[in-house]
Amino acid sequence: MSPEQTLCDGCATRRRSVSQLRRAAGAPLVARVLFKETRRAIYRFGCKFILNNQRRRRHNPEGELKGACDACRGYRCWLRWRGAAGVWLRSSEGFERAKAGLEHFDRRDEWADLALKTFRESADARVPPAVAQILDPDLIHRVIAKANLGNATYWVIDQFTDSGGQVLVKQENGQNPVILATDTTIFPLQAGLVPPLIADQLSASFDGATPQRPPIQVPLPASGAEVSARIFAKAKECDETLVTRDAPNTNHGRLACAFAVNEVVRRAIGKPVGGGNSTADMGEVLAKTQTQLPEQQIGPGTIVISPTHGGNVGHVGIVGEVKNPVNVTVIYSNSSARGVFSHTFTLGKWKAFYRDRKGLPVFFYALKL
């Protein structure tokens, strides 16, 4: 069926095909509402004319339903705009029954079924409100593993935007949830952290084998300055070209912050920083083997790190060419949302987000051999 046949004259101001309407039925707006409200929300996608009608004009001012599309044939609705929040609301008079003989609900019910199917299929990816409250509010969260034992439920949850991390949460019936572990990646699970049966279920998708990366033959740097220069040059080369979505045990690049920096440094000087895929472990390695720099002494190729602490997800990156003012200096790091190494942050944005908003420290290290 063509868009012209699907939509009425009012809706045809912006024609929407059946495939577009099917996709709209699974949108988050629809998925978050109750059953009856789901049906009503679908009208908003099916009738663009009503959606844009800020003055609450009727769809068919003359009261004629002849020629109305499937989305508005069963009911006519008025919408009012709540400007402060930018949300469409149904008015108190919301819906009016169609004339006898003109009722037609087949397509509307099909859209409702699609929305409900999407909502139900995503049930395992959602967590109870009490668990959501203890997660990082700045990040998107996705459940990647869930297990039950007795009256206790365990979740492994990915949290990510431009940075990413994992958290292991336990909740017993009637009790508040608690965080058992958190880091860029929590696998392999610490021995004794959870019962063995639960550990096996949660770790089912984790590949414990350490991948063997091909050795890189590069001449040893002659000085610390050459180390930083090589790391900076390699970071620029890898900008938007180092794809981390296929990196092992990083869940399609969402947990590849430390992996990406380790890989850039390995390509530059022949060996990684250390710490594996964990920003917390990398922070410990840097603190033990390198000398911390004040911000005034940073240069291109300096490692900047805000290690994950508790339930607070951190990040790690490489400083680019230092600019004046220093806050506009670019930082190269993995984008967890995109799964690619890129110049997402500046130093000013990094400090504002990780230091000021999240309360994490910001450390700088110039690597030495």
pLDDT digits (tens, 9 = 90+) for 42-62: 444 443 333 333 333 334 343
65 lies in the same domain as 14: yes
Per the CB < 8 A criterion, the answer to whether 279 and 362 are in contact is no
Read off the tokens for 61. 């001012």
Q: Is the per-residue pLDDT at 196 higher than 90?
A: yes
192-196, 208-212, 313-317: range with lowest mean pLDDT:
208-212
- The whole-number pLDDT of residue 110 equals 74
Mean pLDDT score, 353-364: 95
| 3-state SS, residue 300 | coil
The whole-angstrom separation of Cα 101 and Cα 88 is: 30
Last residue within a domain, chosen from 73, 106, 121: 121
pLDDT of residue 210: 61
* Run of H or E including 224: helix 224-238
Confidence of residue 116 (pLDDT cuts 50, 70, 90): confident
- Is residue 210 situated within a structural domain? no
**What tokens does 257 get?**
């912050």
What was the pLDDT predicted at 243? 95
Q: Are residues 18 and 66 in the same domain?
A: yes
| Tally of structural domains, the chain | 3
343 within 8 A of 166, measured Cβ to Cβ: no
DSSP 8-state symbol, 205:
T
Q: Which domain holds residue 349?
A: 224-365
192 within domain boundaries: yes
- Does 128 score more than 70 pLDDT? yes
pLDDT higher than 70, residue 70: no
Mark whether 334 and 235 lie in a shared domain.
Answer: yes
Task: Give the 3-state secondary structure of residue 140.
Answer: strand
Rounded mean pLDDT of the chain?
76
The residue written with tokens 């920083």 in the block is 273
Domain co-membership, 114 together with 131: no
Low-confidence winner among 88-92, 94-98, 324-328 (lowest mean pLDDT): 88-92
What does the radius of gyration of the chain's CA atoms come to, in whole angstroms?
27
Give the largest Cα separation in the chain, rounded.
88
Whether the bond into 129 is cis, omega within 30 of 0: no
Which position has the higher pLDDT, 77 or 308? 308
pLDDT band at 301 (very low <50, low <70, confident <90, very high): very high
Task: Quote the CA–CA distance of 178 and 154 in Å, as a whole number.
Answer: 10
State pLDDT tens for residues 4-40.
Answer: 334 444 444 434 444 444 444 444 433 333 334 434 4
Asked if residue 114 and residue 21 are part of one domain, the reply reads yes
- How long a stretch of residues is the chain? 369
174 and 94 in a common domain? no
pLDDT value of residue 206: 81
pLDDT for 3 beyond 70? no
Same domain, 228 and 352: yes
Amino acid present at 130: A
Mean pLDDT of 102-125: 68
Q: What are the structure tokens assigned to 353, written together?
A: 């987000």
Find the mean pLDDT for residues 225-248.
95
Contact (CB, 8 A) for 136 and 152: no
CA distance 252 to 160: 12
Q: Is residue 209 part of a domain?
A: no
Residue 111 covered by a domain: yes
Q: Is the peptide bond before 188 cis (omega within 30 degrees of 0)?
A: yes
Question: Which helix (H) or strand (E) element contains residue 228?
Answer: helix 224-238
Task: Return the pLDDT at 85.
Answer: 36
Name the most confidently modeled range: 29-33, 248-252, 327-331: 327-331
- Verify that 128 and 110 share a domain, yes or no: no
For 2, the token pair is 């063509």
Measure the CA–CA gap between 320 and 1, rounded to whole angstroms: 54
Q: What is the pLDDT of residue 345?
A: 96
pLDDT at 340 (0 to 100):
95
